[in-house]
Amino acid sequence: MKDIKEIYARIKQKVIEAGYGKEIVWQGSIRFDQMTEQDLLRELAWVVMSSGMKEEVIRYRFHGVRKAFKMFESAKLIVDDLEHCEGEALKCFNHEGKITAISLAALKIMDDGFENLKERIKQNPIPVLQEFKFIGPITSYHLAKNLGIQVAKPDRHLSRMAIACGYQDVQHFCSWISLQTGDPISVVDIVLWRFATIEHDYLKVFK
């Protein structure tokens, strides 16, 4: 196989040329220690809504849901007006289970206390994030990554890439590329994932 640094550089350039440079910059700028309650609510809602659905559908509807839930300013603000928030959100995104999951997340954050929950996530991110409804074995990595934790989401695209390069585990695969290129694991993840969404035969670059 060609040098992974060369392959990754070409992939990253193609993603940037396709208009996703800001996405890469955003992912690289996230710091878990700087995460606020608003950040947690927003990113959790995004991942919950995205589960099993196309990104463009969620991107179209997310602002309305965000507005319905008080711009995710705080868990207390949502909980104090929960019925109204849910009703407004359902007008934008008619999936009762996922809207309820966002409400339950606000309740959990308020009950547990944000700072306490943040410390628990820092110590043991994947199991703790799976305490939230609709956050499972794969989506917990997606959420962790979007909160600034250095992990990769083991979705089907990255799993296929890892196997093509002789790795059975996405985390080790992305860690290897990170060590070779200097990009954080979360950035490696989003570069590879975005490349897979814009290049149909994305595995050919690894052959």
pLDDT (tens digit per residue) in 75-92? 999 999 999 999 999 999
User: Rounded mean pLDDT of the chain?
Assistant: 96
Kindly state whether residues 79 and 105 are assigned to the same domain: yes
Find, among 107, 100, 118, 190, the residue nearest to 129 by Cα.
Answer: 118
Stretch 86-113: mean pLDDT, rounded? Answer: 97
**Residue 23 burial (10 A CB sphere; 0-12, 13-18, 19+):** middle
Its pTM stands at 0.92
Kindly state whether residues 91 and 18 are assigned to the same domain: no
Find, among 68, 66, 29, 75, the residue nearest to 45 by Cα.
Answer: 66
Kindly state whether residues 96 and 128 are assigned to the same domain: yes
Q: Determine what percent of the chain is predicted with pLDDT higher than 70.
A: 99
Kindly state whether residues 137 and 176 are assigned to the same domain: no
Of 146, 175, 195, the one marking the end of a domain is 146
The residues near 107 (Cβ < 8 Å, ≥ 6 apart) are 75, 79, 82
- Please write the tens of the pLDDT for every residue from 13-27: 999 999 999 999 999
Kindly state whether residues 56 and 138 are assigned to the same domain: yes
- Residue 206, pLDDT score: 86
- Please write the tens of the pLDDT for every residue from 13-64: 999 999 999 999 999 999 999 999 999 999 999 999 999 898 889 999 999 9
Find, among 177, 128, 123, 181, the residue nearest to 152 by Cα.
Answer: 177
Kindly state whether residues 178 and 86 are assigned to the same domain: no
Alpha-carbon distance 148 to 207, whole Å?
31
* Greatest extent of the chain over all pairs of C-alpha atoms, in Å: 57
What is the total count of domains within the chain?
2
Kindly state whether residues 40 and 81 are assigned to the same domain: yes
Kindly state whether residues 26 and 37 are assigned to the same domain: no
- Using left for φ > 0, alpha for ψ between -120 and 50, and beta otherwise, residue 182 falls in left
- Residue 203, pLDDT score: 95
Q: How confident is the model at residue 2 (pLDDT cuts 50, 70, 90)?
A: low
Domain carrying residue 173: 4-30+152-206
Kindly state whether residues 137 and 177 are assigned to the same domain: no
Kindly state whether residues 93 and 157 are assigned to the same domain: no
Enter the DSSP assignment of 132.
S
